[in-house]
Every structure is written in structure tokens, then in C-alpha cells.
Amino acid sequence: MNGRIYDPTLGRFLQADPFIQAPENSQSYNRYSYVWNNPVSATDPSGYFGIFKKIGRNIIRGASKIFGAKVVSIAGNIASLFCGPYAPACAAGWSYEYSRAMGVSSSGALRAAFTAAVTTYAFQQIGNYFNGASADNLLAAKHGIGSTTFDFGGLSLSGRQIAGQIAAHAVVGGISAELSGGKFGHGFFSAGVTKGLGGTFLPGSSELSGGDILKGTVVSMVIGGTASVFSGSKFANGANTAAFQYLLNQGSSSIAEAIKNRLPTGNLPPLPEDAKVLAKFKSMAVDATNEIDGKYPFLQTAPLRWLRGILIHSSFASRVRSMNLGYYGAVVSYLNGRVVPYGTAGSVRADAVYGIPGAPKFVIELKTGGASLTVGELINYDSHLPKGVEVYKLEERDF
């Protein structure tokens, strides 16, 4: 029976209990005792866990009689998602206990637990990935670069990213259905439709109220359940998956506050004081460009433009250093929020800084020729500058 052997003469088990089920109860540390030395009031059929497991499953059965088994199952799955980063483990634990309470065998319950863990983890990772993509898009948009984006489920995503998110949800829905004993196509269709419609019409942000989250979850479940019925499956199957989809994506930021703001705190357009300083930097950049073009006009030909750019940057740096006010710096490198020597692997280099180098007010990125600031460069700046430092671009084409 895979349990421990109890000796009624000794009143003790012959094998130690490998689990400490209630650390706050000192009786749990007596590994050979039976139900915390309280055999009159409790039983332990397996010899491993005491009364709490039996009570928990009785509660599940009682709630299922009152509210319906499917409602209790979905409610438990939703509750498990509030475990934050540990949601997959919580979902697996709930699915196992619910299945056992409903009379499912241990092997069947383990399969349900595995399916719940995989589904939760997959939707969680999809949510994290596209939240990050949205943050990168917003960062690029602040500086007037990047591709066109659309509001989709509270995120700022390009058309290709939206299609990718819908496809990812559909695939996970199909795999979940297959693992649960259903058909891949049914889960694929239901999850894809749920994300497509839910992302378009349902709210999603880091500031959703409890009512917004509840409403979004319910509507998402209705969409998912209805789509599941149309595909030939059961309403409950689609509704359950839809709840996972919404809470682990559009509602995840508000529930766990797990997605933090990755964008710099500065503002565009710049503040009046910043605008004056930026005008000085721009003037120095223009003067540096005119100096190099006046001395070496032949560098404007295509094969030599790279050398022209180097000389313009060098002249610009010299002009910034000549300010000699202690509040202007040139060619400063950063890595993980700290100033590092020039050329440090993985670092990002600012062409100029305004403020103390270790804590500048903002930094300048100078682009010569037809070059422009890229999304990748902005992300690197955002990752390595001290927190809250803004990046302003000076592009020659705007001079």
C-alpha cells in the first residue's frame, strides 16, 4: 500500500514520517507518532499526512455538491494563479488534490497536475515575453523610432507580435487539450479565438482594479467556453483555459505586480532647463560637423564616411570637455548602473553626459551621417544607465 507500518503494541510507527506537515506544531517533529498523538479524534490511512488532507478533500467534495464540480475546479485553478512566480506549482497541487477528491486515481491525478503545471508555466512565460516586448516598443516610441504598434490587451505590440501572441496561446491551448485527453485542434481553436477577441476588447494593464480583473476573467471564460463548444469540445474546458490566459497575461501585472516599469523616468519633450543644455550640446555637434567637413570635405564620399564620423565624435567630445564646468562629461561608459572604463565588455557608451557622471541627469547619443538611434541601443541604455536617466539623441539629419 506504500504506507508506513504501525505497531499497535508500541503505539508507534516503525518507520519515520519523511514529511513535516505542520512546522508550527511541535508534534509534527515526532516522526514515529500517529496523527500527532491524537488517535481518538483523527485518522491517517496512508501514514504520511494527517487530518488536514482528509478535511481538505471533504471540503472540495462539499463545495462541488453546492456549486458544481466544474465551478469549484475553475475557482481553484484561478486561486492558484495568485501564487505569483510559484503559480505552476500551486496549480499542480490544486489539480492533484481536486482530482483525488473527485475519486481519480493517483496516476490520473498526477497527469492532471502535470498538465496544469505545464499550461500555467507556458502562459506565464508568454505573458512575460510580450510584456517585455511591449516595454521595448514603448521605449522606442518615446524617441520616435521603431515600428507601428497597436493597443492589444493593454500592451503596445506590432502587428507581427500580435499574431505571434495569438499563435502562442493557440499552441499552448492545443497542447493542454491533448495532455488532458482531448483533441489538439479543439484547444488550439478555443485558445486562439479567446486571445484574439480578448486582446482586442478586454482591458489589461498594471492598474486594473479588482472589478476589472473579475470582469475580464469572466468575459474571457465565456469567450473561451463558447469557442470550445463551437470546436466540438466542452464549455468548461475552454473556460478553464481562458481563465489561465487572461490572468497570466492581461491581468498578471495587476495581480502580482511582477512586471515592473522598465522605462527611464525622464520626459520628452525635455524640461525647460534640459532644453537649454540640449541646445548647447546641439550647437557643439553642429560646430564639430562643420569643422570636420570644412577641413576634410573628401571624407563625405561613401568609402570614407566612417572616418568622418569618428572625427566628428572626437571633435564633439573635445568641445564638451572644454566646457570645464564639472557638470559636463564626454565619452562615459556604463555597465549595470555604474561608470566603467571605456571599452568594458557589455558596457554602453554615452557620447556626452549632463550632470555628475555617476548620477547624470541625462545622456547624449550623437549620430552622424544618416545613422539613427536603434531600438537595440535604447534597450542597452535602459539596461545599463543608472535608474531614471533619460537618453536624448542628436542626429545629424536633424541639424
Give SS3 for 292. Answer: helix
Checking if the pLDDT of 12 tops 50, the result is yes
Residue type, 175: I
Q: HSE-up of 136 (CA within 13 Å, CB side)?
A: 18
Examine residue 269 and say whether the peptide bond preceding it is cis (omega within 30 degrees of 0): yes
Locate the domains of the chain by residue range.
57-256, 272-398
216 neighbors 250 (Cβ within 8 angstroms) = yes
Give SS3 for 264. Answer: coil
DSSP 84: G
**Beta-carbon contacts of residue 107 (< 8 Å; ≥ 6 apart):** none
Checking if the pLDDT of 257 tops 60, the result is no
Note the helical H segments in the chain. 51-67, 69-80, 87-101, 106-142, 159-179, 184-201, 210-231, 235-248, 252-256, 272-295, 305-321, 375-384
Checking if the pLDDT of 336 tops 60, the result is yes
For 376-388, write each residue's pLDDT tens digit. 888 888 889 998 8
245 neighbors 169 (Cβ within 8 angstroms) = yes
What percent of the chain lies above the pLDDT cut of 70?
83
For 174-213, write each residue's pLDDT tens digit. 999 999 888 999 999 999 999 999 888 887 766 677 778 8
353 neighbors 329 (Cβ within 8 angstroms) = yes
- Its pTM stands at 0.60
For 119-171, write each residue's pLDDT tens digit. 999 998 998 898 888 888 888 887 777 788 898 988 889 999 999 999 999 99
In 3D space, the residue among 265, 253, 262, 205 whose CA is nearest the CA of residue 379 turns out to be 262
DSSP 270: P
Q: What is the pLDDT of residue 258?
A: 36
- Joined together, the cell numbers standing for residue 101 give 477528491
In 3D space, the residue among 167, 57, 73, 177 whose CA is nearest the CA of residue 115 turns out to be 177
